[in-house]
Structure 1
Amino acid sequence: MTDSHLPPPLPDHSSEEADGPPPPLPPLPPTPQQGPTDPLRAMFQVTEQTRTYPCDSCGAALVFDPATQNLLCLSCGRSHAIVIDPERRVIDHDLQSTMTQLRGLMATEHPTAAAVTEREIVCQSCGGRSTFSGTLTSSRCPYCATPIQRDDIHDAPLRLPVDGILPFRLDDKQGREVIEKWIHSRWFAPTEFKKYRELGAFTSIYAAYFTYDADTTTSYTGMRGDTYTVTTGSGDNRRTETRTRWRHRSGVVRSTFDDVAVLANTGFDTERVHALEPWPTAQATPYSPEFVAGHLCRTYDHDADQCFPVAQERINAGIDAAIRQDIGGDKQRISQTDTRYNALTFKHVLLPIWLLTVVYAGNPFQVFINGVTGEVQGQRPWSTVKIVFAVLAALILIVGVVLAWQAAK
């Protein structure tokens, strides 16, 4: 195919007013004092730009509970409903216009204005100090375990706001049951690795994703191959050959793509995280910080423009499949394509992952669980001793079978 790795032509807006003002950036999430999704129990610390959720019964910290989909007090057990304004929707944004305006704003600001910086936070519950580094936006106080959310990143004018979130469905107990089953099915993993409770860290984290919707029209030229058989030669040289009859084909295919998800964080095993798909993104709800309470959360390392080439590869693969189906026949050759994007939009969403990290023999191994479907993908070390014993056992079995067969014969 002729498509390059650069973003393709975007929708043609030449019919719009050429000199008009650029379209506005996606609206930022409501501030803690405004949003209907922020209940009165949410405490926002102005000096620290952080948010906590104390229980209105006992004052202990509330956390999001996947089992009930509510905020839960682990101290007194009281459940607090999360109320989402029914008028809110997870909104799509035009990729070209949004990123063009954002780049323009970034060019007029200080070069580091959009950067995610390390920041020390003072816990408003115990006074302990902890550091938010990298793209981490939600964590727990290391001294009193109070869930703390850093709001200054999500609310920054030069950062793309979060549009939606797919809340956890698997709770801690279910996640551990899934990981237990997966690890103990790895027969050739070292015994020490299976002691992951002592060696590893198991945590829940919301990872940043961009999902893309596209409506494409592609014209193509190619060839259709239909196979047939012929008999050649005679006598002992008589044989049947399979041949292909090729005919030129051309046409136009229209394809639509919905929620092509691309991980926007670094530090993960990208191939294995991608294998957690499909994500039920249709179940995503408008973002509310309450869903993040008690869980780790990260904002994006790569923005919607930087993530798009990955989505484009998947879109191109889908277009290729549509063209081959349109050509038909037993074989297809695609010689030239020309793709037009009639629409290309994106959403910034947070998706839930249970993550087990085990350091074994000085090397980190990561195991990921889809926090909604329970799909597991991960790395594990191999036990040389177990493999050697398995090979020896197989050889002994083979020798035993051969000797028994010879004795019987």
Structure 2
Amino acid sequence: MSEQHPPPPIPSTSQPPPPPEADSSGSSPAPPPPPARAKEVSDDIDPSADSMAMRHLTEESRTYPCESCGGELHFDIRSQFLKCAHCGNTHELMENDGRVDERDLREALRLLQLNKQSHEQAFIDIDKEITCQNCGGNTTFSGSLTAEKCPYCATPIQLDDVHDAPERLPVDGVLPFSIDDKQAKELIGKWISGRWFAPTEFKTYGRTGAFSSVYMAYFTYDADARTQYTGRRGDNYTVTVGSGENRRTETRTSWRRASGTVNNSFDDITVFANEGFERNRIAKLEPWPTETAKPYSAEYAAGHLRRTYDLDVEECLPEATAQMEAAITQTVRQDIGGDQQDINSMSISWLKMTYKHLLLPIWLLTVIYEQKPFQVYINGVTGEVHGSRPYSKVKILIAVMLAALVIVVVVIAVSASGSG
């Protein structure tokens, strides 16, 4: 984990709570596994495992075999059930009852400080090779990826050691996919077709791109804040000055001192916690309906990619507090009133700060064009689409030539009309 720093100070007399000092897809379904292999695998399974998952202790992973035919279970977005890709059998998810609870942020910061420089580094920075317990093929998990499909038999494989590690903050909730594969492809096809100057090759993403469903890591922050401020209120008024031709109206401002106290309450300020993606474009997928998040169950990620966080709750905090402080500043301006406001100081007291670690669903298209990657993102719940695309020089040149031709035609027509 990278060296952690306290959040930068708010441009006022307050700061966010500082960390305490340390004490020291579309592929054909794979055939079911042979019965003998399935029995052999069962010797490595934790008998106490819940749901339909089979925990493989030697690999510190889990898979989801169908108890009817031995095929692979996936989380089926349309039915919201676990569904066998081979026989079509479905199983209800064994969801955790209750709500997604918030956790105390200050306590989390304290624990992060205690675990600083721990062996957590090994979980994220070292690639891990897993042997598929269905076909025996090897799958490599890189970086923060914790759920993948076997490249040989498409068996969904999930790593448990990262999410269950004591140095890692646990996942509190998940927002399941509600946009399925077919809907996602229609949305992204419509988005790409509207990119007029995109190269034709880019529009054939179905043959040239990688299209995946991924649960990305987010932290959400709640806070109650009380802010004392000082400043000035400006009220505009008009006066008439000068005489004769120089007579005119001017706007002037009458200033008077202002001070007071405002209260703000923030709910689910979301911050993206993964690296290697275009944060500005992913931010445009908001808002997320986080109020509908469900208590975390790994079953939702069966058959889909899943990532743990690259940036922890402390490293994401400055982005969250920046959003909160912008809202507090606006509240102060409204409290001052008048036509203009001049804020001299703000002293923010954070009365309460909590967080949640959530997995949120994103459909990700990656297209390599002229040896450069271009990514398009779809909110897996709302269907919002944002991304990057290349530009076709040929199409732009043709458009410029057509525009020049139109200008020439208009000029000739105007000239002919004038001479007539």
Normalising by structure 2, what TM-score? Answer: 0.87
Corresponding position: 1:52 with 2:96: no
Q: Distance in 2 between matches of 1:248 and 1:175?
A: 55
Deviation readout 1:88-123 (Å, 9 max, x if unpaired): 32111111112213422446x557466553211000
Distance 1:50 1:254, change over 3 A: same
CA contact (8 A) 1:114 1:159 kept: no
CA drift of 1:78 comes to 1.9
CA drift of 1:238 comes to 2.1
Q: Kindly provide the amino acid, as one letter, of the partner of residue 97 in structure 1.
A: E
Q: Distance in 2 between matches of 1:224 and 1:364?
A: 51
Q: In the alignment, what sits opposite 2:354?
A: 345
Normalising by structure 1, what TM-score? Answer: 0.89
What is the aligned length? Answer: 386
Give the alignment partner of residue 180 of structure 1, picking from 189, 213, 221: 189
Q: In the alignment, what sits opposite 1:259?
A: 268
CA drift of 1:2 comes to 7.2
Q: In the alignment, what sits opposite 2:314?
A: 305
Q: In the alignment, what sits opposite 1:244?
A: 253
Q: Kindly provide the amino acid, as one letter, of the partner of residue 301 in structure 2.
A: V
Q: Distance in 1 between matches of 2:151 and 2:115?
A: 37
* Aligned residue runs from structure 1 range 3-14, under 5 A: 3-4=10-11, 8-10=15-17
* Aligned residue runs from structure 1 range 328-367, under 5 A: 328-367=337-376
Compare 120-129 and 69-78 and name the one that shifted more: 69-78
Q: Distance in 2 between matches of 1:6 and 1:113?
A: 39
Q: In the alignment, what sits opposite 2:37?
A: none
CA drift of 1:328 comes to 1.3
Give the alignment partner of residue 81 of structure 1, picking from 87, 92, 98: 92
Q: Kindly provide the amino acid, as one letter, of the partner of residue 127 in structure 1.
A: G
Deviation readout 1:363-392 (Å, 9 max, x if unpaired): 111111100001111001111221122122
* Aligned residue runs from structure 1 range 285-324, under 5 A: 285-324=294-333
CA contact (8 A) 1:7 1:308 kept: no
Q: Kindly provide the amino acid, as one letter, of the partner of residue 253 in structure 2.
A: T
CA drift of 1:335 comes to 1.2
Q: Distance in 1 between matches of 2:182 and 2:379?
A: 14
Deviation readout 1:15-59 (Å, 9 max, x if unpaired): xxxxxxxxxxxxxxxx97657xx32x3111111111111112221
Q: Kindly provide the amino acid, as one letter, of the partner of residue 234 in structure 1.
A: S
Compare 269-278 and 112-121 and name the one that shifted more: 112-121
Q: In the alignment, what sits opposite 1:386?
A: 395
Q: In the alignment, what sits opposite 1:23?
A: none
SS in 1 for 2:95: coil
Q: Distance in 2 between matches of 1:33 and 1:163?
A: 24
Deviation readout 1:329-369 (Å, 9 max, x if unpaired): 22211111000000011111000000111111111111111
Q: Kindly provide the amino acid, as one letter, of the partner of residue 231 in structure 2.
A: G
Q: Distance in 2 between matches of 1:110 and 1:361?
A: 40
SS in 2 for 1:56: coil
SS in 2 for 1:154: helix
SS in 2 for 1:47: coil
Give the alignment partner of residue 107 of structure 2, picking from 97, 107, 125: 97
Q: Kindly provide the amino acid, as one letter, of the partner of residue 368 in structure 2.
A: V
Corresponding position: 1:171 with 2:180: yes
Distance 1:121 1:172, change over 3 A: same
Distance 1:7 1:349, change over 3 A: farther
Q: Distance in 2 between matches of 1:115 and 1:83?
A: 29
CA contact (8 A) 1:7 1:312 kept: no
Distance 1:173 1:367, change over 3 A: same
Q: Which runs of 5+ in 2 are unaligned?
A: 1-7, 21-44
Q: Distance in 2 between matches of 1:337 and 1:7?
A: 7
Q: Distance in 2 between matches of 1:355 and 1:6?
A: 42
Q: In the alignment, what sits opposite 2:209?
A: 200
Q: Which runs of 5+ in 1 are unaligned?
A: 14-30
Q: Kindly provide the amino acid, as one letter, of the partner of residue 98 in structure 1.
A: A
Q: In the alignment, what sits opposite 1:401?
A: 410
Q: Distance in 1 between matches of 2:179 and 2:300?
A: 13
Q: Distance in 1 between matches of 2:14 and 2:131?
A: 43
SS in 2 for 1:249: strand
Q: Percent identity?
A: 55
Corresponding position: 1:269 with 2:284: no
Deviation readout 1:190-247 (Å, 9 max, x if unpaired): 1111111222111110111110001000011112222222222222222222222222
Q: Kindly provide the amino acid, as one letter, of the partner of residue 87 in structure 2.
A: C
SS in 2 for 1:242: strand
CA contact (8 A) 1:220 1:336 kept: yes
Q: Distance in 2 between matches of 1:103 and 1:7?
A: 22
Q: Kindly provide the amino acid, as one letter, of the partner of residue 93 in structure 1.
A: R
Corresponding position: 1:64 with 2:71: no
CA contact (8 A) 2:46 2:56 kept: no
The root-mean-square deviation of aligned C-alpha atoms, in Å, is: 2.3
Q: Distance in 1 between matches of 2:116 and 2:248?
A: 71
Compare 256-265 and 378-387 and name the one that shifted more: 378-387
